[in-house]
Amino acid sequence: MNSTENGREKWGSKIGFILAAAGSAIGLGNLWKFPYMTYTNDGGAFVLTYLMAILAIGVPIMIAEIIIGRRTQLSPVGAMTKLGGKRWSWLGWLGVITGFIILSYYSVVAGWTLEYVVKSITGAFIDKSPDQVTQQFVDFVSDPFRQVFWHALFMGITMFLVLGGVKGGIERSARILMPILFIIILILVAVSLSMEGAGRAITFLFRPNFSELSGAGFLEALGHAFFSLSLGMGAMMTYGSYMHKNESIPNAALTVSLLDTVIAILACLIIFPIVMTFDLEPTKSAGILFTTLPVVFMQMPGGYYFSILFFTLVAFAALTSAISLLEVVASYFIDELNWNRKKSTLITGGAIFLFGTLSALSNGAVGWLSNFNFWGRPTTAGFFNTFDYLASNYLLPIGGLFIAIFTGWILTKSLKEEELSTGGKTYFKYSVWDVLIKYFAPVAVGIIILAVLLGKEFQ
């Protein structure tokens, strides 16, 4: 298949967009954050709310982003300017800035997963007590050199893959990494479900009890749908700009959202049987992934291999997400300033690396752990905290809100109908999508933003 169409580089195959977009969506958000949030929000009702948020807000906004990207064949700044005029270009800019900020600390956490792959391989957890494993983590995050080293390596790998371009780099790495990810996850699920606590885990996850879900939990579910699907900063817009004209946008959005959701649920099916079986009380911090699971792995038959597989999986997932973040930033300079891909990737990636060292070096890295919460507020100073708080609580939801408003109210009906009608039969009717993107999504997301601005109690 020809990789260019109207001069724009394109995915090499029909499944290219879906693979790359799923790679972007599936990341640390699914494998760690979702299980953790599910735990603190008492399971079933939170999971059900999240699923509804994905369908009623996430999918419509993803469709909107893809429409804008594919229509203009441009990355966010150019795309918004082309369709909405100069007065909308700020929305593209917001995406570039948000991507820059998110990747700067996302890469640091991703770097931690690399450290843990190596720790797993060298058998660092063997015969260690839970306290010792926790201490290993504390030692690691207070070691600036090691953190910067892994952060540099992770950014280096991300840049290398983005350098390869749309077809060679991004699509090929997703094509190889995503199936491996699925296979590893399925193996881990099978092992976990054979554990004694599996039944309790399933009840916990799938029996909704709405009296247990707080208002804050409800909002967290809505917010996480956003983060997990990589929405609100033009990542899906950028990937959509490489999509072929003859593909169905609603079907692609539905498939990507389904894959992302399945992985989040499977991650819970890996983690909760372990938690239940070993009677583990997960700490209310990001540390759970790094301080708790190694202990469990070491108590299990084959746990040595289990832990290598698990942390490798997390690193892969983080990598395909990081690629999408860098692509948004790099493609701005490619599209708007006519830099070539190499120059753009090296300069923007290098700048993000440097900016990220602030997070890696700040003591906030540890503070962030205990405070990592999509809708929470930072309680400790530190760059880590501040950047995550800013991006997750304000930049993404604001971006998403205006993408919904723009698509719902500014774009013409004929443009939208045309974009949605290509690619054959779809399961997401235009009229349904129209109501969701015009009314439901803006109102719901608006409420989330207001709640965060006004309510300090949302923890």
By the rule CB under 6 A, 261 interacts with ligand TRP: no
Q: Which is nearer to ligand TRP, 141 or 314 (CB)?
A: 314
Q: What are phi and psi of 8, to 5 degrees?
A: -90, 135
The Cα–Cα gap between 122 and 114 comes to: 13
CB of 425 to ligand TRP, least distance (A): 28
By the rule CB under 6 A, 348 interacts with ligand TRP: no
Question: Alpha helix locations (H) across 164-213?
Answer: 165, 172-193, 198-206
CB of 197 to ligand TRP, least distance (A): 26
Q: Which is nearer to ligand TRP, 45 or 322 (CB)?
A: 322
Closest CA to 397 of 457, 321, 326, 449: 449
CB of 1 to ligand TRP, least distance (A): 26
Q: Which is nearer to ligand TRP, 29 or 250 (CB)?
A: 29
Q: Which is nearer to ligand TRP, 213 or 326 (CB)?
A: 326
Q: Which is nearer to ligand TRP, 133 or 352 (CB)?
A: 352
Query: Three-state SS for 164?
Result: coil
Closest CA to 228 of 38, 70, 431, 368: 38
By the rule CB under 6 A, 403 interacts with ligand TRP: no
By the rule CB under 6 A, 458 interacts with ligand TRP: no
By the rule CB under 6 A, 158 interacts with ligand TRP: no
CB of 196 to ligand TRP, least distance (A): 30
Residue with tokens 């969506």: 25
By the rule CB under 6 A, 321 interacts with ligand TRP: yes
Q: Which amino acid is at 319?
A: L
Q: Which amino acid is at 88?
A: W
CB of 453 to ligand TRP, least distance (A): 20
The Cα–Cα gap between 152 and 105 comes to: 12
Q: For ligand TRP, which residue of 17, 20, 23, 30 counts as binding (CB under 6 A)? A: 30
How many residues touch ligand TRP under the rule CB under 6 A: the total is 16
DSSP code at position 85: -
Span from 28-36, 123-131, 159-167, 416-424 in contact with ligand TRP (CB under 6 A): 28-36
By the rule CB under 6 A, 286 interacts with ligand TRP: no
Q: Which is nearer to ligand TRP, 285 or 321 (CB)?
A: 321
How far CA 241 is from CA of 78, 96, 249, in Å, comes to 11, 15, 11
How far CA 357 is from CA of 104, 145, 272, 345, in Å, comes to 8, 10, 33, 18
CB of 180 to ligand TRP, least distance (A): 17
CB of 432 to ligand TRP, least distance (A): 25
CB of 261 to ligand TRP, least distance (A): 11
By the rule CB under 6 A, 108 interacts with ligand TRP: no
The Cα–Cα gap between 337 and 357 comes to: 27
Q: Which is nearer to ligand TRP, 104 or 134 (CB)?
A: 104
The Cα–Cα gap between 65 and 77 comes to: 13
From residue 207 to residue 236, the character string flagging contacts with ligand TRP as x (rule: CB under 6 A) and all else as - is --------------------xx-x-xx-x-
**Angle in degrees, CA 52, 53, 58, rounded to 5:** 125
CB of 24 to ligand TRP, least distance (A): 5
DSSP code at position 231: -
CB of 41 to ligand TRP, least distance (A): 17
Dihedral sign from CA coordinates of 334, 339, 341, 342: negative
CB of 31 to ligand TRP, least distance (A): 8
By the rule CB under 6 A, 423 interacts with ligand TRP: no
Q: For ligand TRP, which residue of 396, 398, 404, 444 counts as binding (CB under 6 A)? A: 396
**Is the Cβ–Cβ distance between 121 and 311 less than 8 Å?**
no
Largest CA distance in the chain: 65
Helix (H) or strand (E) holding 97: helix 89-121
Parallel, antiparallel, or unpaired: how do β-strands 4-5 and 8-9 relate?
antiparallel
Q: For ligand TRP, which residue of 21, 24, 169, 352 counts as binding (CB under 6 A)? A: 24
Q: What are phi and psi of 456, to 5 degrees?
A: -80, -15
By the rule CB under 6 A, 81 interacts with ligand TRP: no
Output the six-digit token pair for 404: 């919904």
Q: Which is nearer to ligand TRP, 30 or 113 (CB)?
A: 30
DSSP code at position 5: E
- Residues binding ligand TRP (CB under 6 A): 24-25, 27-30, 227-228, 230, 232-233, 235, 321, 324-325, 396
